[in-house]
Every structure is written in structure tokens, then in C-alpha cells.
Amino acid sequence: MKLIILLLIAQTAMAQPKIPTDSLVFTEFQSTIMAEKRRIIVHLPLNYFKEVDKKYPVMYVLDGTAQDQHTSDKISVLAAANLMPECIVVGILNSKGNRNRDQTPPFMQTETEDNKSPFGEANLFLSFIEKELIPKIEQNYRSNGYRTLSGHSRGGLFVLYSLLEKPDLFNARFCYSTPVWRFNDSMINKIADFAKAKTAIKKSFLFLSAGANETDNIVGGFNRLNRVLGTHKIKNLRLFIYLTPLADHQQNPLFATSRAMAEWGTYYSSQLTK
């Protein structure tokens, strides 16, 4: 498996296929919940317009323009190798520099070194995704109803927040280089409380990754969260943990996504056969 994934990563890095113009859709629409215009990029599977009866899982990727293209590319390669399903990939762009506002949970301030910084508004952003974005995607594209969410760094905090607040909104979640150490491990403590409460969730998949060359804060928080999830297991949650060799903070999602997609592909296939 490791050799296959390394070869696929290399193939993705070297290949520069011409992307059909109708496979990318740039959309801007007014959000009532956020009271602003939001932009998304929709990456459609290669044969989306040829296989007109086929439906697909949807992967929502935070930090659109930074994380969605390489994710879509890797999915195309891995799907061609039958290691995962083809997906519709939705890149959610940040709005007017409000990444910190949107992706920070409301129980955290947006800045760790500024005690006057505002608290995050991830509750509003999650409501936007649930009530405005997902219905828009599922009304306009051939979704099979299976939803996944992916986030890097602060985006990983949002992904974990979505697990706490709306555990059944997504079937699978991917967190890369998440700063769970912030504010005295507040996210780790929230996850621990959630697990101890034995909250019932539907079958779900969670991939957690950090780069081996990241800061002590990132790697230390990653290890502490993993210990919590190992001690207090969340029923019906399939957990996969991956410390990416040689990767720093920016490299980790680029390196780990192929592994994440391949592992999730195996999980997804196992659910279809049950």
C-alpha cells in the first residue's frame, strides 16, 4: 500500500493534465446567514457530463484555491486506480480575509497572543455550510448524499468543531496539522467530554495527520488528542492516525492527502458491502 501511494503521489506531482473547462465551476452567491457573498469552486469528475446517471460523494474542502486543487487531482488519480470513489470536490474560498473568524470555534479567541481578539464564529460558518451551501450543491449536482469535510491547520479546528456540533452532518472528516493545543488544549478537552458522554453518532470516518517536522505544539497536541481518542473511544467512529514523515506544516496536507484518500476509500468500500 505504501509503495502504491508513493507512486500515485509522484504521478500526481508530475502529471499536468489539461483540465476540461466544464469540469471547473466558479460560483458566487449571497449568504443570508453570513450576510455576505461567498465563493466556491466546484471540481467535477472527468466524465461527469458523459456518465449522466452516476452520482458521487461530495468532499467539501476548506481554504479553497489552496487545498482543493491538489485534493481533486489526487482523488482523480486514486479513483482511476480503484482505490477510492470519484468525488465532486467543493473548494470553499475564504471571504474578505475572514478565515480566522470562520474557522475558529466560538469557544476560542481568533488569536492566541492577543487577549483582546474576538471569539470565532465557526457556529455561523457551520450553519452556512449546512443550510445554504450543502443544499445548493445537492440541488445542482449529482450527489449521492455522502458528505466529507477536509481542513488544514485552523481549518482542522473547524472540522473537529463540526464533529462536536453536527456529528451526523458529514460521513467522513479529514484534519491536517490541526492546532488542537491552543488555549490550554481546549479542543482536546471538548473532544474528551464528547467521547465520555458516549454521544450516539452514525458510522463515520476521521483521519488525523501531522507532519513529523512540525512544531512541538502541533505534534504534541496531535499526540495528546490521539491518546484521548484511544482512551475514550467514540462509538461508530473509525479513526485513522498518520504522522507524515519529513513533512512540515505546509507540506503535510500535500503529502498526507493521498494516504487519507486511500484509507478512506477502503473504509467507504467496506460500508457499501454491508
19 part of a folded domain: no
Q: How far apart are CA 88 and CA 59, in angstroms?
A: 6
Strand order in the sheet with 237-244: 24-31, 36-43, 88-92, 56-62, 143-152, 172-176, 204-211, 237-244
How many other C-beta atoms lie within 10 A of the C-beta of residue 105?
A: 25
pLDDT, tens digit (0-9, with 9 covering 90-100), for 155-198: 999 999 999 999 999 999 999 999 999 999 999 999 999 999 98
Say yes or no to pLDDT of 96 above 90: no
Handedness of CA 23, 14, 8, 248 (dihedral sign): negative
pLDDT band at 66 (very low <50, low <70, confident <90, very high): very high
pLDDT band of residue 17 (cuts 50, 70, 90) is: very low
For residue 75, pLDDT beyond 60: yes
Residue 10 lies in a domain: no
Does 118 reside within a domain?
yes
Instruction: Retrieve residue 42's grid coordinates.
Output: 466546484
Q: Which domain holds residue 33?
A: 26-48+55-272
Residue 1 covered by a domain? no
Q: What is the CATH number of the domain that holds 240?
A: 3.40.50.1820
- What total number of domains does the chain contain? 1
